[in-house]
A and B are shown apart, each in its own frame.
Chain A
Amino acid sequence: MTQIKYPTQRLSLRFFMLMLVLFLLQVGYGLVLSIQHVDPTLLAGVLNFNVVRAEHLNLAVMWIVCGFIGAILFVGPLLSGRDWKMSPLIKLLFFALIAVVIWNAFTLPLAERGIAGWWAGQPWLQQGLEYLEPGRIAGLAVLVGFAIFALVVLRTFPPVRDWNEIHWGLGIGACALMVVWMFGLFYVGRLDLQEYFRWFVVHYWVEGVWEVIHISLVGYLLVLMFKADVKSVGFAVFWGVTLVWLSGLIGNAHHYFWIGTPEFWQFWGSLFSALEPLPLVFCFWHIYLDAHTNRRPLDNAPAFYFVLGSVVLEQIGAGILGFSMTFALTNVWSHGTWVTPSHGHLALFGTFGMLGIAFAYYAVPIMRGVPNYDQRLGRLGFWLVLSSMLGLAFSFAMGGTVQIFVYRVLGQDWFGGEVAPAMGLFKLLLPLFGMIFAIGVGVIAYDLFTLGSRVKSPLTDLTRYLEQPLHEAPRWSRPLTGFEAGLWLMTMWIFGAIITLGLLSFNLARVRVGGDPTLPYLLAAVGYPGLFVTTLAFVSRFLASLEERASVRGVVPIDTSMPAAELV
């Protein structure tokens, strides 16, 4: 599609812009955190680490939700065959979101003075729980916001009997966002029970709700970009979602190993969450198939770059790294160390963050009326954030491996002791990669803010494709076959297995009693860099093959007047 079909699709633009602002803020807080890890006295007493971290996590949730709302607002009318109903409520939602963000910026720092705003047994200003830091006032405001959003989606969608899988995915997703949020809205005195319900929100949001929205949106974006068959995408969405729930429902048990809940969770958690990568492999495979259903050139490269990034980082961040630490015997070591944020950063930013950016890159040029925009900055931004996020994950994972050995095996002391100095090198890498990431985000935000108002480059991508003489594709850009994609995937999983064995090897008497770290260090030093380099190479290979399409012999040139793909 080259222009919007329904005027209310434009409501999504402000959410995409807000998403970028919040993303920039979140990255700023992240940079401060990474420097505070190196020098904990930085801003101590002014902006303590816990406050910066609360903002970092809170904004992460906020901008990802903002991206989801933007994406759903853009596709909703196409899926419904009519404009959004109750658009004033959507505008209200936008300002409410800004208000909540500002409110949190004032209430979260109260933690430095120990003010939670206890009233009627509940913390109203901030509650000091990881991922759920805001207090009841913000929590209830967000609940109302989700309720409004679910209402608007359900009122605008066609009658339920006309729903296809994408409607179901987004409809359930919008409602479940609200329902799952409620589990974080009450104070629990028992630590085990509190953690039990806290993971309801965190795990079921990510694994049960966001994942559903993610699969539906990726599916529909492929329909829009590649005219993928709706039936085929619907099949992928249904089985993707079902697999997510089949594995993720009891898979939540991997959070219940050590919080004071019974030992039997170790069995259920290890068993079912080992299945959690299945839907991700499935989704990964489908993007390969669906992106290859037609062999037209890529007319919006950055949008596809980020969709691919989202699916690939989901595969390695959530799938492979998640798998490596999901067994009780590996989790006992990775739990509570830097190994976990390696998984968390790749999975959360990769899967959900990149999807929001992909949709922004798809929708913003259309809304600004510049479908033939200069795509170079978008490509640059993608490579910057992808490679530096892999670098961050590497620093966390390697630092975490050292941390496990020094802290949990040798039982050495924390600050002033051995743990922080032992992790020193990797602590230093963190702000370094963080800086590159921040530059990447700056490039993306600048590009999307100013897209359409900048002077177009004389040689845009589209003309470049059309003017390029036909030639044989070089080896690196030859069409990617299913067999080759399978080999890449297998290589990633082999490195994943090495990582898993590395964590497992901490159980060996040689390591645990003898104090010899050679094996876990070696396996980590092979596994993590191997996985991340393979990932970079695969993304580069996949994109090269797609970029080359237009100039390969025998391919029909681009049809710029592609009609909007619709589902209704």
Chain B
Amino acid sequence: MIPELGHYALVLALALGLIQSVAPIVGAKTHDAALIRLASSTALMQFLLVAASFGALVTCYVTSDFSVKTVFENSHSLMPLLYKFTSVWGNHEGSMLLWVFILSLFGGLVAAFGVNLPATLKAYVLAVQSWIAVAFYLFILLTSNPFLRLPQAPIEGQDLNPILQDLGLAIHPPLLYLGYVGFSISFSFAIAALIEGRIDAAWARFVRPWTLMAWMFLTLGIAMGSYWAYYTLGWGGFWFWDPVENASLMPWLAGTALLHSAVVMEKRNALKVWTILLSVLTFSLSLIGTFLVRSGVLTSVHSFANDPARGVFILGILVLFIGGGLSLFAWRAPMLKQGGLFAPISREGSLVFNNLFLTTACLTVFVGTLYPLALEALTGTKISVGGPFFNLTFGPLFVALMFAMPFGPLLAWKRGDLLGVAQRLMTACAVGLVAVAITFAIKGGASVLAPFGVGLAFYVMMGAIIDLVERTGLMRLPMATVRTRAAGLPRSAWGTAAAHFGIAVSMLGIIGAATWGTERIVSVSPGQTISLSGYDLTFGGLVERTGPNYTAQVATFIVREGGVQIGVMEPSKRNFSARQMSTNEAALMTRGVSQIYLSLGDANKDGAIAIRLYYKPAVMLIWLGAVVMMLGGALSLSDRRLRVGAPKPAARAAMQPAE
């Protein structure tokens, strides 16, 4: 009964979605306030229905109702409750339901919190949002119905792919989807603006919080995915330039560019057309990401069992929305009025520079990701484009971007003083150079680029601090004045500084782990001691342990530093009987921001076992940096000028219909 209810709720949501796709537009064209208001109600109702549908699927999974096909294929009655819950989206059908659930959530949020939006804009936004929703409801109902029943209910399920039986599945996909799907709002706003043919600084003020929110979730989602891959795949890599990773990086790059260009639009009423285009492109990249991961054109942990019909369907959605969005842009964008003027050397100019480099970097990732697919489709030649390609293309662009980053916030709007800013950044340069020298002194010249990378990271961090020092007048003005200025400083200024600081922190972690990491891949016998980077690990032996739905071979290692025991590491291999599959559970020991990483290979008959032992210096900074970036976003979001529902300028109030 419950699966049928869930299915039915989704069909109802589709019906409402169809109404919401048309009625508000008719209302906006004919100035029919009732039809315009309808959009908010249907958006909220759609959210409730999809939530009910999602809840029904969760119920099926949690109660292990194996008469439902996807539950049978992806769950097992012995799994811990958390994994029963997370396996809802550990498969194609369920993950698409999560996708539309989040989509309807954002639609509902716009309806509920967009009270101060101009009525017609809101009507158009919700209508466009509903177009996307309808396309994906149809996709689920026609090709990927998660509620399909089996004619005879099996007694036991086939278990979830063991790699996915991890806390990571509870965190990474929902965060990533909140990011991906969150950009649908800026897309809908852009399309609405194009339909209306009207766009102003207020538009940017409405869009920015949504974009910022999506960006925060995407940042954290990518970082958590990276950490999950790091500890679960067993060889300590944190980024593989795998197409599915690139699929999430591209919307992030475009979204980051969008955040910055929206600032120019909001503050200076310039770059309007470009901001609209970026909004369209960012969500298009999210859709391409969904297509790459969900269509089965790529093989990876992310692609579940697939049939070709789905790929074609998603491709259709892709062509419709990206093609439609860009065509509408080409048609209507010339009608949008040009905005304010600015000199190339100015805050606006620096943000243009930021956009230029971010979008170009995004383009190189796009080429590297899709070129192999296109080549194979056209010529049948199979190639793989891996890390070296991206390091050679993405790397230099990002270095240039990092170098310019501290200049931006220090430049004045309209016309900036490059020399003056350079002088103010002298301290940052000095700190960077000292960092280069110290790194060379400690680590030697084995890698020439890495110390300069460290210097660059310190320069950016110092630059972020100098920005705050300049704004608050610290060291120049009396303490009391500084305090008032700090209190009066908009939160978004703190957010900018934090986010810029965060990316430098991540950069330090990447350089540290990639350059100065050490590793040993050896075979050890019980009692034997292995040394790496000042740590001694003694292998105690293998023991068997039984988990709820697996048996594990656990190896015990005593870790000593300078002869003193500092802990025990227990990497293991788990064998899942239901799928006859094993997973590698690496053991991690965090020392400051560095980690010791130990994972198991094959066991020999004589009791020896192959191990991979890594020392990853500063590796935790990669993800800590991402968290700092996200917190920067949160600070910015809490800025009262940006808060959803903040008071609008009095002049605009007159245009609002009384509601």
A and B held together in a complex: no
